[in-house]
Amino acid sequence: MNTTPRITIIGAGPGGLTCARILQQHGITATVYDHETGPDARNQGGTLDLHEDNGQIALREAGLLEEFFQLSRPEGQEMRQLDPAGTILFHHTPEEGERFKPEIDRGQLRDLLLGSLQPGTVRWGHTLQAVDGPAEGPRQLRFTDGTTIEADLVIGADGAWSKVRRAVSPAAPQYSGVSFLEAWFHDVESQHPDVAELVGQGGAAAADGERGLFAQRNSGDHIRVYIIQRVPADWITAHGLTLQDTDGIRSILLAQYRDWSPRLRQLITNNDGLYVDRPLYALPVPHTWEHNPTVTLLGDAAHLMPPLGVGVNLAMLDACELALAIANNNTIDDAIHAYEKTMLPRSHQMQKLLDHGAEELLSTELPDFATDDTH
């Protein structure tokens, strides 16, 4: 850079933190702002797999790949596909040393990235209200607490409902027609041994074309189950219920899954605590915007897609490529041009591939990687 730019990243998720880390690896300062009050403000969600051809590339550039391997669970690559009767149709068991996409809890990944940053990099409790100022900069970022800062580059890593996106695009996420209801199981080896045996060390999925279940082993003896339905986004309130009405929701689910085996039905009835409602949204396909010399996006802010195992991986690859573009170009404008030249075509291709992909979560077809040597 010909000058020292003021770089602001909105969002302290894996994408935003990866970008900040790689910038710091190249001696470039960036400040991350996040609306949460602190790193432990909420549960960060379930487990995810980081792929060798995207997420792991970013971690290698960040100098964190070996630490990731120490934390990750390669056994989590195990995958089972069942039919509604509970019969196993496909079973993948990872080979010894297989590292293509080991699992890690989202909270562990964020802690790894946070711990790698210089003190004071992340400013908690800052909810962005708007990005103002001329396109050529400097930009003014207004926060809901009344504070304002100036930046030469604003990076939107603030997820599905990005406030930064509004500075470059009018697009808004649209409901996919498919919704997740999340159920948690704790101390599974002692309290839910049948669920633990059913799910194994990785994930187990079943679907009948209209509804599905996906159960996933997390660290710390936990399992999360995603109850997948084609329903209106407000289906719970439409039944006159709230998320606190566990028995009422459970009654509806039992009716919906009445033809499924009792062994699979326990994944929707024996959970610990309340259900969590997660309707699935996606951005229009393709999502693009006019080049802006002071604002760009990464991850879900740029290309929100159905949750089919690519979201965090693409966000981290975006972050890696953007940070390297900033490090290797003379101006912020040149860096954004270089970054978007590769990011936008890649995200467009993936968006098209996964368009209406939420429906695939209900499909009875076996995964593409199922082969004759399954066991």
Output the CATH code of domain 175-282.
Answer: 3.30.9.30
Domain ranges of the chain: 7-77+98-173+283-356, 175-282
Helices 14-25 and 106-116: crossing angle in degrees, nearest 10, is 30
Per-residue confidence (pLDDT) for residue 68, from 0 to 100: 95
- Residue 343 near residue 85 (C-beta atoms within 8 A): no
Per-residue confidence (pLDDT) for residue 222, from 0 to 100: 94
Give residue 45's region: left, alpha or beta (phi > 0; psi -120 to 50): left
Q: Which CATH superfamily is domain 7-77+98-173+283-356 in?
A: FAD/NAD(P)-binding domain (3.50.50.60)
CA max distance for the chain: 66
- CA 270 to mean position of chain CA atoms: 26
- How many angstroms separate the Cα of 37 from the Cα of each of 16, 34, 150, 339? 16, 8, 22, 31
DSSP 95: P
- Residue listed under structure tokens 């406030």: 163
Per-residue confidence (pLDDT) for residue 112, from 0 to 100: 96
Question: DSSP string spanning 7-51?
Answer: EEEE--SHHHHHHHHHHHHTT--EEEE-SSSSTTSS---SEEE--
- Residue listed under structure tokens 């509004």: 166
List binding-site positions: 42, 49, 106, 300
**Alpha helices in 200-293, H assignment, sequence order:** 235-238, 246-256, 262-269
List binding-site positions for NADPH: 42
List binding-site positions for FAD: 49, 106, 300
Per-residue confidence (pLDDT) for residue 344, from 0 to 100: 95
Question: Order of strands across the sheet with 122-123?
Answer: 122-123, 30-33, 7-10, 153-156, 295-297
pTM attached to this predicted model: 0.92
Taking the C-alpha atoms of residue 339 and residue 334, their distance in angstroms, rounded to an integer, is: 9
Q: What is the pLDDT along the chain (375 residues), one digit of tens a residue?
A: 656 899 999 999 999 999 999 999 999 999 999 999 888 776 667 888 999 999 999 999 999 999 999 999 999 899 999 999 999 998 989 888 888 889 999 999 999 999 999 999 999 999 999 999 999 999 999 999 999 999 999 999 999 999 999 999 999 999 999 999 999 999 999 999 999 999 999 999 999 989 999 999 999 999 999 999 999 999 999 999 999 999 999 999 999 999 999 999 999 989 999 999 999 999 999 999 999 999 999 999 999 988 877 889 999 999 999 999 999 999 999 999 999 999 999 999 988 888 877 777 888 775 543 333 332
Per-residue confidence (pLDDT) for residue 39, from 0 to 100: 80
- Residue 180 near residue 230 (C-beta atoms within 8 A): no
- Residue listed under structure tokens 């070996």: 66
Residues 6+ apart with CB under 8 A from 86: 206, 260, 261, 263, 264
State which amino acid sits at residue 67: E
